[in-house]
Structure 1
Amino acid sequence: MAANTAVGAEKKDTRTITFKNKEHRDFYMDYMPKCRYQDVYHKALVYCLGIDRDTRVNADRIYDFSTGCVKTECLHEGWQTSGSARIVRMAFNLYCNGTPSVDDTENAEEQLKECRCYIS
């Protein structure tokens, strides 16, 4: 009698999230319930914001958990490091499926420069 491979496949459809450290995991578990929706966009956003201590501490300056809006102005605040800015842009890109901070300026040269920050 042939084995039913579809039944075996169903049982192995589990996924685990790999966290950088305990603080990353704790942040994710604390902040996911604060999100308006529990979809993949919010999960990606919260996961990214939890990676770095600076983004964890400033999460409310990066994202408005009550309205669901990203706060692109946070990229110009003094607490940002080059690493935290990259994490924030990655979080914005995954959440918005775009480059929201590019629209913060009307100057085409500055927009292009900001857009490049999402890919470098």
Structure 2
Amino acid sequence: MKKSLKILLGTAILPLAILPLFAQQKTFTGEVSDATCGTKHTMAGNPAKCTRACVGKGSAYALIADNKVYTLQSQTPKVTEKLAKMAGMQAKVTGNLSGDTVQVSSVSKP
């Protein structure tokens, strides 16, 4: 019985585990912001300073594109550094989309 249950669970979970392997890279262009503020920066200063301050307090980077806010998850320190430099600016972000979250593989100027 236990062996049958393990096989059943394994076959049910396997497709979910390998799904990210087949995810396609997508490219988005928009403004680098943070998940807390999104389109409305509430801290004093400009959007870049607000974004960096919010990320410094634990918020995730975000991209405002096509009237939607995507949470950005960096895959490398280099990507995180580029997001910090481009805070408040337009950027081209490439990565795998899952829901409203992008696993970012590259960031560049549009």
TM-based fold match above 0.5? no
- Compute the TM-score of the two structures, normalised by the length of structure 2: 0.28
More helix by share: 1
- Compute the TM-score of the two structures, normalised by the length of structure 1: 0.26
More strand by share: 2
